[in-house]
Structure 1
Amino acid sequence: MTGVPQGYEIGEADWDDEEFRELVRWVGAQTLALYDGVDLSKQKVRPLTRDDVRTIVAIRIDGRLVAAGLLSDAHGVWEVNRLAVDPDHRRLGLARAVLAELERRARRDGVGRLRLQTGFRQEAAIALYVDGGWTRIPPYGPYADDDIVSVCFEKELT
């Protein structure tokens, strides 16, 4: 798989994989801290469940999960969710590699368009999506009423 640094392996994870869940929890807590003092009351997104998940891409080194992301269809559209990289493995292109693999799998499965949501204070994520050819769109679906925090993107896969 191109884009994965030497020594890293790209594959899959399961929703119940404890390493995956721990990485997502840690990144979620760090992300929430970015928005201390910001009114998050307009966010009405229900938590994802196992049934929403179509695939989870994981990158491991020496068997340890260090980056992951998933595709879901929880909100009536195909979305990239939970893109996360362990802090000790950032700036190596792992997020870009996970995102590229998610896009490849979506194309393989006949998905024509992906969407995602991030927040205005997640500048590295925004730069990743812009550099990856994603187009900024107005907040959609469960993010539609949140024009304070949500920064949404979509990408045509055809």
Structure 2
Amino acid sequence: MRIEVRDYAHPDVVKLVAEVQQEYVVRYGGFDETPVDPTEFTHPSGLFLVGYLDDVPVASGGWRVHDPETVEMKRLYVTPAARGRGLARAMLAELERVAIAGGYRKLILETGLKQPEAVELYLSSGYDTIEPFGFYADAPLARHLGKILTP
């Protein structure tokens, strides 16, 4: 998979974010309502990546600065046709690598219990349960995870 930095307004990002939002509708009955400012995913306050197979956008993920040492991951997603190939794990590793290169020491995220594949990916990648934060801090189906990043 070729991974490229993309602006949050890039057509491939818009397409993949719309797809992941539809995934939330199927699994939870509605969109992720977490407030997102597209400028949060632009250097130096953040980053957004798109993964391509044969020039087709198939994966996405980004992070935004949460505090001076921490970034929050958003929109890690792989299209249904490209699942089962380790692309989410590869995107996660690249997001972590770039965060480390930027001097960040921790990556946090929120996911949901109706996304067991995501929960398993994060747990198997060294993420642990953390104190709830953000828009879904009190949501019963939310799972908040974090990882100390080491070079």
TM-score bracket, normalised by the shorter chain, equals 0.7 to 0.9
Q: 1:12 to 1:136 in 2, by over 3 A?
A: same
TM-score (norm 1): 0.83
Q: Where do 1:1-158 residues align within 5 Å? A: 8-36=1-29, 45-46=34-35, 48-53=36-41, 54-73=46-65, 75-76=66-67, 77-146=70-139, 148-158=140-150
Local SS of the residue matching 2:135? helix
For residues 122 and 38 of structure 2, the distance between their equivalents in structure 1, rounded to whole angstroms, comes to 25
Give the percent of matched residue pairs that are identical in Structure 1 and Structure 2.
Answer: 33
Residue 44 of structure 1 and its aligned partner are, at CA, apart by: 6.8
TM-score (norm 2): 0.87
For residues 143 and 109 of structure 1, the distance between their equivalents in structure 2, rounded to whole angstroms, comes to 27
For residues 44 and 97 of structure 1, the distance between their equivalents in structure 2, rounded to whole angstroms, comes to 26
For residues 81 and 104 of structure 2, the distance between their equivalents in structure 1, rounded to whole angstroms, comes to 33
Moved segments of 4+, more than 3 Å? none
Local SS of the residue matching 1:142? coil
The amino acid of 1:80's aligned partner reads M
For residues 21 and 131 of structure 2, the distance between their equivalents in structure 1, rounded to whole angstroms, comes to 23
RMSD: 2.0
Residue 156 of structure 1 and its aligned partner are, at CA, apart by: 0.2
Q: Which ranges in structure 1 are unaligned for 5 or more consecutive residues?
A: 1-7
For residues 99 and 91 of structure 2, the distance between their equivalents in structure 1, rounded to whole angstroms, comes to 12
1:2-26 per-position Cα deviation (integer Å, ceiling 9, x unaligned): xxxxxx3122222111121111111
> Which has more radius of gyration?
1
For residues 99 and 86 of structure 2, the distance between their equivalents in structure 1, rounded to whole angstroms, comes to 20
Task: Note if contact 1:15-1:21 (Cα within 8 Å) is conserved in structure 2.
Answer: yes
